[in-house]
Structure formats: structure tokens, C-alpha cells
Amino acid sequence: MLFYWLNLIGIFFFTISGSLAARDKKHYHDYFGVFFTGFLTAIGGGTLRDMMLGAFPISWLSDRNILLSILFAFAFTLLFKTYIVKLRRTLFLFDTVGVGIYTIIGVQKSLEHGVNPFAAVILGLITAVFGGVIRDTLINEIPLIFAREIYATACIAGAVLFTTLLYAQVDTNVAATISMSTIITIRILAVKYKLALPKFDTGTSDN
Amino acid sequence: MLFYWLNLIGIFFFTISGSLAARDKKHYHDYFGVFFTGFLTAIGGGTLRDMMLGAFPISWLSDRNILLSILFAFAFTLLFKTYIVKLRRTLFLFDTVGVGIYTIIGVQKSLEHGVNPFAAVILGLITAVFGGVIRDTLINEIPLIFAREIYATACIAGAVLFTTLLYAQVDTNVAATISMSTIITIRILAVKYKLALPKFDTGTSDN
Amino acid sequence: MLFYWLNLIGIFFFTISGSLAARDKKHYHDYFGVFFTGFLTAIGGGTLRDMMLGAFPISWLSDRNILLSILFAFAFTLLFKTYIVKLRRTLFLFDTVGVGIYTIIGVQKSLEHGVNPFAAVILGLITAVFGGVIRDTLINEIPLIFAREIYATACIAGAVLFTTLLYAQVDTNVAATISMSTIITIRILAVKYKLALPKFDTGTSDN
């Protein structure tokens, strides 16, 4: 039940993040481009995950609430667009909350489908980042996930924490809440204090 | 039966649209690049749709006629290439007929698989445009579907019309014919009279 | 059994090819970008193939040895990175061996799933090249497979040879070995002697 609602909230946040990103680009200013980018950002990760798991029907084809959540997010973007776009950090925040939620949902659903824990962590990461990768590719930017490796590391840390807590018999909802908070906190701290992983340095001059 | 033949015709048209687009690009002048782009343009949308629906085996893996239709389209492109490329509008026309057919087939197959009507409309749109998005991404252009939002709106209008007509118990073949004609007509009129949707304007100076 | 081991070897080679390619790009210098690109290069083709075939669970979700093979490849890349990057040809070689193996595995698995031989050849090609297409797209380069059409032609030749040998009742392992060697040999000879297919020439001046 917690996961069902979290999913709808994640959908809402990712739709806004996709719509805002597209809105900022000249050639996506029309309504269709903005909304379609928001839609694909929201459903991309979960759709790829379900297609990989063979979990048919994939969620947004059978549950109308997901489409409703996307519609609410569109209405929200339209109503508050002037206000939202003034806060440059908003996009990052919406992306971060979405990524935190999707990582844990991705791990949880993968484990339910009998995937081994290591692959479940990777599927959690893919669920979380694929929508954003579609979004950033459509607007012709280097995907955010590759821009600052700490973003992906935060997901992996949260996903590993979640599987570990489940293994230690911690209640699923408690484990999910702790792990999501961890991901979101790491990402926000990373931006605030400009944390980064070491570079992949080969010691040659072309670095 | 109508849908089976329409699908083969759509495959034929999209193969040509993909081959022509690739042929125009310097780094895709060789035969393989041209044909592979045509192939992916033709099967992209239906493949993604079937993978999302869990409709296995996906059509071109089980029906040789689809591959035959692609081969005919290649032969057609080779035979008439000098003539075709002189007509700049030809590419748009092939794309438009393909899009009209694929939208309706996508909606129809989704409904058959028990998808709700709203999601079926979106799947119809994805079926229609995904091949073209692959084509335009491979040749490094902004996908046509995002360039003029009216193109996508035409698909959605046709898809909504089709589901409404089916709901009103209109014969499927009649409904399909009317809806396809609507999509194709809207797109052609849109180009002729330069119709466009309103821009997503936030009233800020960076627009 | 041969195919199981070949798959692990292919995974190993493609992971290195992806990691090396990403490592060469400034904005992918961090460890996550390098490893994730390697991972996607290795699993991309097989994942798409299994998703198209409806062959669930897809292999790396159920077989830990695949993830182990990727880890070994990462360790190998880290240990020998200074040495490897000095040999520019190494990347091509790793890609070529991977492509040879994946083509044949792709054809074999498709035939096992009842796909017709023509579609199986195409699926073999897609299995072989999709990981590389992801790799090259992520690092913003024209996919290698489109750069020199002879690369794809080598795959198709090997795939056709393999299905023909199977049809002629040749032992599967013998047929696989011959066909893979053919693909790898054609690609190496093509680079050495700068072989190319004829251009798609329309006789107009814009060529």
C-alpha cells in the first residue's frame, strides 16, 4: 500500500521534472513537447523495469490512477509555471525525490519477481534513472545521472541499504522510508557541499 | 483482415520514409545504413508496443510477410530513388500515411489486450511515432514529431475518434477508415496552412 | 554449454570495450560513468533480444555469473588501464570478438524460441550491435556499426552461414565456431585492407 502511493507520488514528481526541463528548451516550447517529455520521464523507468521483468501488464496500462497522477502534475505545472521556473533548484529537487522513490520501488518489485539481490540493486538504479535519461536525451543534454556520479552512487547506496535491511528482517515500510531518505539526503548534501567521486584517471596527459 | 493488410502497407511506407531520410545524410550513404534505418523505422513502433503489451511473439518475428513488405519497400526505393528524392514532400507523405495507419492499429491491438481506452490512445501514439523517433535520432535530427506538435495532436485526435466510434458500436473497419483519414487529412492541412498549437509561454524573457 | 561460456566471454569483452570507450571521453571520466557504460554495453544486446523474444527472466537477472563476468572485466580494466589505452586497436578488437560471439548466440537463442530463420539473422545482428550502439550514443559518437557498413555485413554473413550450416545438419558447436571465426576474420581483414561496400549513390550532386 505504501509502495502504491509512493509510486503515484514519484510519477507526479517526475512528470513535473520532465515538463520543466522540456519547457526550458526553445524547440520544445509547445504544449505537446512539454507534456510528452513529462509523460516519458514519469513512466520511462517503471516501463523498462516491467518489460525487463516480464511483469505484464505494465503498470500504467492497467492502472488509471497513474495517468491521473500525470494529469494532476500537468495541471500543477500549468498553474504554477511562472513561479516554479524562477526556482532553478526546483527541478533538481523534483528529480531527487522521484529518484529516491523509484529506486526503492524498483528494488522491491524486482525482489518480488525473484531477481537476485545484486541484479535487483541494478534494476532499482535503472528504474530510477531511465526516465531522467530519456528526458535529458530528448532535450539534448548530457544525462544528469552521468554529470555527477554521486547521484547514481546515492541510488546504489540506498538500494544496497534497502536490501540489507530487508535481509535483516526489518519491516518493509520502515526499510523503504529509511533508504529513500538516505538517497535524497545524500543527493542534497552532495549538491550543497559539491561532493564528487574520484576521477577515473589513467595518469596520461589527455585527462 | 483489414488491419493485417494495413499493417503491411504501413510497414512498406515507413521503410521507405526511413530509407529516404537516411539516404539524405552523408554518413549514412552506404547501403547498410540506409536499409537498417528503414527497417528500424518500420518495425520500431510495433515492436515497442508489443513489448509493452507482452504480446509475444512480436509480429515481425513470426510473420514473414512483414519482412517481405520491407524487402519490397527496399526494392522500390532502389528502383525509384532518383525520382523519389526529387520530391521533397514525398518523405513527409510516406511518414504521414504510415503514422495514420500505425496509430489506429496501435489503439486496436491495445484494446484487444485489455488496456484501458486512455492508455490505448497513448499506445497508439507511441506505435505511430516511435519508428520515426528512431529514424530521426539515427540521422541526428530533432524528431519530426516534436518539430510540429500538430503532428502528434493529429494522432491523438484520430485515436480518440477511433475509440469513441468503437464505443458507439460503429463497425471496426468503418471506424478505422474514418479515423485514419482524419489523421492524414489534419497533418496535410497543417502543413499546407502552417497550423500550429499555441506555444507553452511562461511570460518570462528567456522564451 | 559452449554457448553459456561464450556468452560470459562476450560479456567480458563488451564490458571492457564499453569501459574503455567511456574512459576516453572527458565527461565520463568518473568511475560510475565508465562502469555503467561498460555494463550497458555488455548487457544491452542480450537484454533487448530477450525482451523481444519474451524470454523471461532475461539472463542477467537470473544468472549471477553474468554480473561476475562484468566485475572481472572492471577489475581487468582497472588493473591494465594504462597499458590498454595505449593500444588504440584494442578497443576495436574487444568489440570485434564480442560482436562475433553475440551474433551467433543471438541467432541460436532466436531459433530455439521458434523464430523464423530470416528474423533470427536480424535478431542476431541486433544482439551483436545494440550494446555498441548504446555505448556510442552515450559517448556521443556515430555508432561504430554505421561508420563502416562492412562491420554489420560481417555479422549478417556469419549469421546466414550459421543458419545454413545448422540447416545442413552440421553440429551446432562446429557451426558456431566456424561462423564466429568468419565474422571476426572479415572485420579484421576489412580494417586491414580498408574494405567497404559500395555507396548508396543517386547520381545527384548533393552526394
Q: Which of A39-43, B73-77, C134-138 has the lowest mean pLDDT?
A: C134-138
- A107-126 residues touching C, CB cutoff 8 A: 110, 113-116, 118-119, 122-123
Q: What is the pLDDT of residues C18-50, one digit of tens each?
A: 888 877 765 555 777 788 889 999 999 999 999
In angstroms, the CA A25 to CA A27 distance is: 6
DSSP one-letter string for A28-44: G-BHHHHHHHHHHHHHH
Measured in whole angstroms, how far is the alpha carbon of residue B50 from the centre of its chain? 15
Who wins on pLDDT, C139 or C162?
Answer: C162
What pLDDT shows up at residue A202?
43
What pLDDT shows up at residue C78?
84
* B78 and A CB contact within 8 Å: no
Q: Grid coordinates in use for B150? A: 500538430
Query: Within a 10 A sphere around the Cβ of C62, how many other Cβ atoms?
Result: 13
* B204 and A CB contact within 8 Å: yes
Q: Has the ipTM of the complex gone over 0.85? A: no
Mean pLDDT of B138-166: 82
C145 pLDDT tier (thresholds 50, 70, 90)? low
Would you give the end-to-end CA distance of chain B in angstroms?
49
Q: In which residue ranges of chain A is pLDDT below 70?
A: 25-29, 82-89, 140-149, 194-207
What pLDDT shows up at residue C52?
95
B192 pLDDT tier (thresholds 50, 70, 90)? confident
Which chains, if any, share at least 3 CB pairs under 8 A with chain C? A, B
Locate the chain B residue with the closest alpha carbon to C120. Answer: B61
Range among A183-197, B108-122, B145-159, C143-157 with highest mean pLDDT value: B108-122
Locate the chain B residue with the closest alpha carbon to C155. Answer: B32
Residue B6, burial from CB neighbour count under 10 angstroms (0-12, 13-18, 19+): buried
* B160 and A CB contact within 8 Å: no
Task: Judge: A119–C82 Cβ closer than 8 Å, yes or no.
Answer: no
Mean pLDDT of B183-203: 70
Task: Judge: C198–B31 Cβ closer than 8 Å, yes or no.
Answer: yes
Of B62, A174, A6, the C-alpha closest to C123 is B62
In angstroms, the CA B105 to CA B99 distance is: 10
Put residue C25 in one of left, alpha, beta given phi > 0 → left and psi -120 to 50 → alpha: beta
Contact list, B47 vs chain C (CB under 8 Å) = 52
Of A153, A142, A124, A135, the C-alpha closest to A49 is A124
* A53 and B CB contact within 8 Å: no
pLDDT tops 80 at residue B130: yes
A43, A50 in Cβ contact below 8 A?
A: no
* A5 and B CB contact within 8 Å: no
CA distance C149 to chain B (A): 6
Q: What is the pTM of this model?
A: 0.87
Q: What is the pLDDT of residues A192-203, one digit of tens each?
A: 776 655 554 444
Of residues A54, A116, A200, nearest to C23 (C-beta): A200
Of residues A23, A31, A64, nearest to B116 (C-beta): A64
* C82 and A CB contact within 8 Å: yes
pLDDT tops 50 at residue B207: no
pLDDT tops 60 at residue B29: no
* B26 and A CB contact within 8 Å: no
* C75 and B CB contact within 8 Å: no
Per-residue burial over C85-111, b = 16 or more CB atoms within 10 Å of its CB, e = otherwise: beeeebbbbbbbbbbbbbbbbbbbbbb
Q: What is the pLDDT of residues C53-100, one digit of tens each?
A: 999 989 899 889 999 999 999 998 888 776 665 555 677 788 888 999
Task: Judge: C200–B23 Cβ closer than 8 Å, yes or no.
Answer: yes
pLDDT tops 60 at residue B111: yes
Who wins on pLDDT, B29 or C205?
Answer: B29
* A207 and C CB contact within 8 Å: yes
Q: What is the pLDDT of residues C103-133, one digit of tens each?
A: 999 999 999 999 999 999 999 999 998 988 8
* B153 and A CB contact within 8 Å: yes
Q: Grid coordinates in use for A4? A: 502504491
Strand partners of residue A30: B199
What pLDDT shows up at residue A203?
41
In angstroms, the CA A20 to CA B14 distance is: 32
**Omega cis (within 30) before B117:** no
**Omega cis (within 30) before C57:** yes
A147, A157 in Cβ contact below 8 A?
A: no
Of residues C116, C123, C203, nearest to B64 (C-beta): C116
Locate the chain B residue with the closest alpha carbon to C204. Answer: B82
Who wins on pLDDT, B113 or A25?
Answer: B113
Who wins on pLDDT, B195 or C18?
Answer: C18
Contact list, C199 vs chain B (CB under 8 Å) = 29-30
